[in-house]
């Protein structure tokens, strides 16, 4: 606790903050963490925005959802803003995570160091394949999927990660919900049907490539003759087609 | 080619369309593909939005960036809209992709069927480890990273995927750029320095978990007493802090 300034009194609920803002918060946090480890103590909204391709107004507006940060003439203090953002995102505490499905992708995710850096720890992995059960990957021994409910309850795990094939994902999701998790990250390429109180984030790795093919395609078209123009973050045509 | 209506004459350039809109385009496309394979022929902007948690106005505004779609009283025809979106995203053509780094994550990505479904095909994989070179994963034989430039030139590959550890990523990016790719998907947790004409998309798998911890945290706070409220997609506080 500091007696200086920022630290929002109350973190706004999910319903009051657009998803895109929360997503940008993650990007700000990454950039701040990178700057801090490079020894930078303060940053302005303009500098932070420039590093990510956003305007300074966008940065201030996004942070404004969560409270007052920064000092006149100084900017933001990296360490304070990192702490505040982790408070907002809920990642100042360690989140234990269970993973279901230890195929190639699951094995890769078990070794992905980016999770622990942001305070997510995969504490157990489960698989339906008896040949996998008992094997260890990155220090995690695979358990039988039948043991999932007991483990989740005993360790009060709130997040689950689904890394099984599409046709098994719903069944695994049902198990995770029955076991008591609050949130699910779904790597399976299928839309899950879940109770409304369960939070879910779907990961589709092809979307990143699609964004890239759009950027490459449109850049080449631009180079081929179209006039470049700029657009503010959410401006758009005001006339709507009939559908 | 249809003589009916839609099909945008000219696809707007990257600079004119906000990134969040392009991202939503990918989400619309996924949903439409799912509906079409379930046998649904048409959909309204309201239905499409509802499936994804957006308003019908948002859907119409997003599509309005790219042209006129849909029919009064009918809505959108799924097949037409899918084709139009793939034209926009550049994925009506097959994109050959080279991958560098065949560790756990690389091996998982080689087997990820979601890429081919969206018309991305990993045509070659490269690794610096002589023990990996010559091994096959999902039908792809690993090549020596020294062979990357010749392969990219010979096969006119335009997209590269970096799946090496953070401390090797910049060096690999430089090689890809020198070899002539136009775009890079970076799975390494590090920011790359690239010439401005090279498009890059960074993948950070922990961001998905962070979005989930925010949703779970804020939902629990809401359940603990705060008043829920709704917000439109990009509304926000108008007063800006000083930084």
CATH number assigned to the domain comprising residue A36: 1.10.10.10
Task: Verify that B112 and B185 share a domain, yes or no.
Answer: yes
Task: Verify that B116 and B151 share a domain, yes or no.
Answer: yes
Residue A46 lies in a domain: yes
Q: Do B64 and A91 touch (CB under 8 A)?
A: no
Contact between B57 and A240 under an 8 Å Cβ cutoff? The reply is yes
Q: Do A107 and B104 touch (CB under 8 A)?
A: yes
Rounded mean pLDDT of A89-102?
95
List, for residues A195-226, the tens digit of each pLDDT value: 999 999 888 888 888 989 998 888 777 777 65
Helix H, strand E, coil C: the string for B38-72 is CCCCEECHHHHHHHHCCCHHHHHHHHHCCCCCCEC
Give the gap in angstroms from C-alpha B4 to the nearest C-alpha of chain A. 15
- Report the residue from B73, B76, B199 with minimal CB separation from A212: B199
List, for residues B77-123, the tens digit of each pLDDT value: 999 999 999 999 999 999 999 999 998 889 989 988 788 888 999 99
Tokens of B231: 């917000």
Task: Verify that B159 and B126 share a domain, yes or no.
Answer: yes
Task: Verify that A116 and A61 share a domain, yes or no.
Answer: no
Residue A52 lies in a domain: yes
Complex-level ipTM: 0.78
Tokens of A103: 């195929």
Task: Verify that A27 and A104 share a domain, yes or no.
Answer: no
Q: Do A189 and B114 touch (CB under 8 A)?
A: yes
In A, which residues are within 8 Å of B18 by CB distance?
231-236
How far, CA to CA in Å, does A67 sit from each of A12, A86, A87, B81?
9, 14, 12, 41
List, for residues A113-132, the tens digit of each pLDDT value: 788 888 999 999 999 999 99
Using alpha carbons only, give the angle B48, B90, B209 rounded to the nearest 5 degrees.
60
pLDDT at B155 over 60: yes
Listed by number, the residues of chain B in 177-236 with a beta carbon closer than 8 Å to a beta carbon of chain A are: 182-185, 189, 191, 197, 199-201, 203-222, 226, 228-236
Q: How far apart are CA B117 and CA B126, in angstroms?
A: 23
- Domain final residue pick, A31, A65, A89: A89
pLDDT at B213 over 60: yes
pLDDT at B233 over 50: no
Q: How far apart are CA A122 and CA A102, in angstroms?
A: 12
Task: Verify that A119 and A63 share a domain, yes or no.
Answer: no
pLDDT of residue B53: 76
pLDDT of residue A180: 95
Interface test with B, best of A29, A53, A106, A213 (most B CBs within 10 A): A213
Residue A215 lies in a domain: no
Crossing angle for the helix pair B45-52 and B19-37, to the nearest 10 degrees: 100
Rounded mean pLDDT of A156-181?
95
Overall number of domains in chain A: 2
List, for residues B121-134, the tens digit of each pLDDT value: 999 999 999 999 99
Instruction: Quote the domain boundaries for residue A60.
Output: 14-89
Task: Verify that B40 and B54 share a domain, yes or no.
Answer: yes
Band the pLDDT of B13: cuts 50, 70, 90. Answer: low
Model confidence, pTM: 0.72
How many angstroms separate the most distant Cα atoms in chain B? Answer: 63
Q: Do B13 and A90 touch (CB under 8 A)?
A: no
Task: Verify that A110 and A48 share a domain, yes or no.
Answer: no
Listed by number, the residues of chain A in 144-163 with a beta carbon closer than 8 Å to a beta carbon of chain B are: 158-159, 161
Residue A112 lies in a domain: yes
φ and ψ at residue A76, rounded to 5 degrees: -95, 145
Phi-psi region of B67 (alpha: psi -120 to 50; beta: other; left: phi over 0): left
Rounded mean pLDDT of B34-42?
92
Secondary structure of residue A141 in the 3-state scheme = strand
Count the helix, strand and coil residues of chain A and give each as a percent rounded to the nearest 5: 45, 15, 40
Task: Verify that A65 and A32 share a domain, yes or no.
Answer: yes
Q: Kindly report the CATH number assigned to the domain that includes residue A201.
A: 3.40.50.720
Band the pLDDT of B11: cuts 50, 70, 90. Answer: low
Task: Verify that B40 and B23 share a domain, yes or no.
Answer: yes
* Mean pLDDT of the residues in chain A: 84
Among A147, A143, A145, A191, residue whose Cα is nearest residue A166:
A191
Task: Verify that B62 and B109 share a domain, yes or no.
Answer: no
Task: Verify that A127 and A44 share a domain, yes or no.
Answer: no
Interface test with A, best of B18, B213, B223, B234 (most A CBs within 10 A): B213
Rounded mean pLDDT of B163-177?
94
Band the pLDDT of B14: cuts 50, 70, 90. Answer: low
């Amino acid at each position: 606790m500091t007696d200086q300034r920022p630290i929002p009194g109350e973190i706004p609920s999910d319903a009051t903050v657009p998803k895109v803002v929360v997503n940008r918060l993650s990007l700000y946090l990454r950039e701040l963490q990178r700057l801090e480890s490079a020894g930078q103590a303060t940053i302005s909204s303009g500098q932070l925005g420039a590093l990510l391709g956003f305007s300074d107004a966008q940065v201030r507006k996004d942070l404004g959802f969560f409270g007052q940060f920064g000092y006149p003439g100084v900017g933001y203090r990296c360490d304070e803003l990192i702490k505040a953002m982790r408070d907002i995102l809920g990642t100042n505490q360690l989140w234990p995570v269970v993973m279901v499905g230890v195929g190639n992708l699951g094995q890769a995710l078990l070794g992905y160091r980016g999770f622990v850096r942001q305070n997510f720890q995969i504490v157990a992995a489960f698989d339906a394949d008896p040949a996998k059960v008992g094997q260890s990957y990155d220090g995690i021994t695979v358990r039988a999927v039948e043991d999932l409910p007991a483990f989740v309850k005993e360790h009060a795990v709130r997040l689950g990660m689904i890394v099984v094939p599409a046709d098994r994902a719903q069944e695994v999701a049902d198990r995770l919900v029955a076991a008591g998790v609050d949130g699910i990250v779904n790597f399976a390429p299928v839309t899950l049907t879940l109770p409304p109180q369960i939070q879910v984030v779907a990961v589709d790795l092809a979307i990143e490539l699609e964004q890239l093919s759009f950027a490459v395609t449109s850049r080449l078209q631009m180079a081929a003759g179209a006039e470049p123009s700029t657009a503010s973050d959410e401006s758009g045509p005001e006339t709507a087609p009939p559908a």
